[in-house]
């Protein structure tokens, strides 16, 4: 465990694992103001589609959500991928603003590639262009913690959460829960007021086995049991915690045969990244005068996709302001995959969020800041960060794309 300060857990008889950190100016305790702020636990269930509660009826969540403040569904940002949307949730910004345009992409401005599988890229703060909520918290004297969240290990603007974990795909759920509970039992001066958690199981099962599979149902029930345990343990604490349960995107079924191969000449002229619902094509050889012709040539023979110069991507995608999406971006039709080689997942995501609800995720919130049993229609995930910042009493000193007004009707007022 990487913890940026060492303290004695005198009450618990435990000790924090200290690590050397270059972030010497980072505060190691809550300010007097922060100590008066509410507690927020933001939990992500990767790939949990908006209709899984009703469709599969996991025992605990099926009842818990009925008493929650919630959305009909949560609309992800484009592209509907894991890293872009997790950063959107904590920055309130579309990927074109916060800089993480895909799980793997090339950044022409940095002349470097990003990949969720390369720690040196994930830990490089230069890729992250907007401060996540935990950075604002730490900068404003509030302790934050993260038991996994994309970007939480990187010193963005020179700051990480006060407590964070190096990602381990195989870390048991119980260990995650116990650690978060331990954090909430720290002395008030060190106790995090913003904490994030992440569970990958549902996304993995959706990819590998698809809808209605026993494996997907088992993964949903596994996470359901873990959320139940987490909620029960939180109730035993002497503090009230606002639990906000979200997902980054949904999941759609596809046939492995529904794949269209891109022409091989592309790799002779361009740097091609990705295979699946979206392919990113980068002009690294200064052939920009041929981009228009390349798009026309690709679209002339395309059967199940359409390509755009990045600046011509339709406005509804909010993706036309950054070359990191690709000098050319090719978008596959719903349930189709494209690329230079075959794409095999049984389930997938990454398609447009506007022509299907399959890409929609969840937003459920329960705690002293939220009304009970109130539901709003589908809204975008850009609005989560300003909502949480408001609850925590944090200022947002820079421009973002989300706003507080959209989700504010979920909050309790003085009249409630």
Instruction: Please tell me the distance from the alpha carbon of residue 94 to that of residue 330, in angstroms, as a whole number.
Output: 19
Whether 245 shows a pLDDT value over 50: the answer reads yes
Nearest to 347 by CA among 254, 212, 247: 254
pLDDT of residue 27: 67
pLDDT of residue 341: 85
User: For the residues 248-272, what does the mean pLDDT come to?
Assistant: 92
pLDDT of residue 168: 93
- Going from the N-terminus, what domains does the chain have, and what CATH number goes with each? 29-93+130-253+355-410 (3.40.720.10), 259-347 (3.30.1360.180)
Lowest mean pLDDT among 73-87, 225-239, 247-261: 247-261
pLDDT of residue 40: 98
3-state secondary structure of 121: helix
Token pair belonging to 311? 């600046």
**pLDDT tens, residue by residue, 190-223:** 999 999 999 999 999 999 999 999 999 999 999 9
Whether 354 shows a pLDDT value over 80: the answer reads yes
pLDDT of residue 240: 97
Average pLDDT, the chain: 92
User: For the residues 33-57, what does the mean pLDDT come to?
Assistant: 98
**pLDDT tens, residue by residue, 155-184:** 999 999 999 999 999 999 999 999 999 999
C-alpha of 327 from chain center: 24
Whether 228 shows a pLDDT value over 80: the answer reads yes
Determine contact, residues 217/56, Cβ cutoff 8 Å. Answer: yes
Whether 96 shows a pLDDT value over 60: the answer reads yes
Whether 344 shows a pLDDT value over 60: the answer reads yes
Number of neighbouring beta carbons within 10 Å of residue 119: 13
Query: Does the active-site annotation cover 356?
Result: no
Query: Residue 244: beta bridge partners?
Result: 42, 365
Instruction: Please tell me the distance from the alpha carbon of residue 93 to that of residue 84, in angstroms, as a whole number.
Output: 10
Token pair belonging to 230? 């987490």
pLDDT of residue 255: 83
**pLDDT tens, residue by residue, 5-26:** 333 232 333 323 333 333 445 6
Whether 385 shows a pLDDT value over 70: the answer reads yes
C-alpha distance from residue 335 to each of 40, 74, 129, 202, 373 (Å): 36, 20, 31, 19, 34
Nearest to 172 by CA among 191, 200, 152, 193: 200
Nearest to 330 by CA among 295, 303, 359: 295
Q: Which residues contact 65 (CB under 8 A, 6 or more apart)?
A: 53, 364
pLDDT of residue 287: 58
pLDDT of residue 9: 30
Whether 355 shows a pLDDT value over 50: the answer reads yes
User: For the residues 300-314, what does the mean pLDDT come to?
Assistant: 97
Task: Output 36 or 345, whichever has higher pLDDT.
Answer: 36
The catalytic residue among 80, 82, 88, 159 is 82
Instruction: Please tell me the distance from the alpha carbon of residue 237 to that of residue 410, in angstroms, as a whole number.
Output: 24
pLDDT above 70 coverage of the chain, percent: 92
């Amino acid at each position: 465990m990487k913890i940026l300060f060492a303290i004695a857990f005198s009450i618990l008889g435990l000790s924090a694992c200290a690590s050397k950190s270059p972030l010497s100016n980072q505060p190691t305790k809550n300010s007097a103001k922060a100590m008066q702020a509410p507690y927020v636990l933001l939990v992500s269930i990767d790939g949990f589609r908006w209709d899984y509660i009703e469709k599969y009826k996991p025992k605990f969540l099926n009842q818990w959500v009925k008493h929650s403040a919630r959305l009909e569904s949560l609309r992800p940002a484009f592209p509907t991928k894991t890293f872009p949307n997790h950063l959107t949730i904590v920055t309130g910004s579309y990927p074109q603003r916060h800089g993480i345009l895909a799980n793997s992409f090339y950044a022409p401005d940095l002349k470097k590639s990003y990949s969720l599988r390369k720690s040196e890229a994930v830990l490089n703060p230069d890729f992250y262009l907007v401060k996540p909520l935990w950075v604002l918290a730490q900068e404003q004297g509030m302790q934050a913690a993260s038991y996994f969240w994309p970007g939480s290990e990187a010193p963005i603007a020179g700051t990480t959460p006060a407590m964070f974990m190096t990602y381990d795909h195989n870390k048991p759920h119980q260990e995650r829960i116990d650690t978060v509970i331990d954090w909430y039992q720290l002395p008030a001066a060190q106790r995090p007021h913003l904490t994030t958690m992440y569970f990958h199981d549902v996304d993995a099962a959706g990819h590998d086995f698809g809808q209605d599979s026993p494996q997907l149902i088992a993964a949903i029930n596994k996470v359901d049991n873990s959320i139940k345990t987490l909620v029960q343990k939180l109730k035993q604490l002497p503090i009230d915690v606002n639990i906000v349960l979200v997902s980054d995107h949904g999941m759609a079924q596809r046939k492995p045969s529904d794949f269209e191969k891109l022409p091989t000449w592309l790799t002779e002229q361009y740097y091609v990244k990705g295979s699946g619902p979206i392919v990113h094509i980068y002009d690294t050889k200064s052939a920009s005068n041929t981009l228009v012709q390349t798009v026309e040539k690709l679209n002339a023979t395309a059967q199940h996709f359409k390509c755009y110069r990045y600046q011509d991507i339709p406005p509804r995608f909010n993706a036309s302001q950054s070359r990191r999406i690709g000098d050319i971006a090719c978008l596959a039709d719903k349930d189709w995959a494209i690329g230079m080689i075959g794409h095999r997942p049984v389930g997938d995501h990454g398609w447009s969020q506007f022509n299907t609800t399959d890409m929609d995720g969840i937003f459920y919130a329960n705690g002293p800041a939220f009304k009970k049993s109130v539901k709003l229609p589908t809204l975008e995930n850009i609005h989560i960060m300003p909502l949480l910042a408001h609850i925590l009493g944090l200022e947002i000193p820079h421009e973002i794309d989300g706003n507080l007004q959209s989700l504010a009707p979920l909050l309790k007022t003085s009249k409630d």
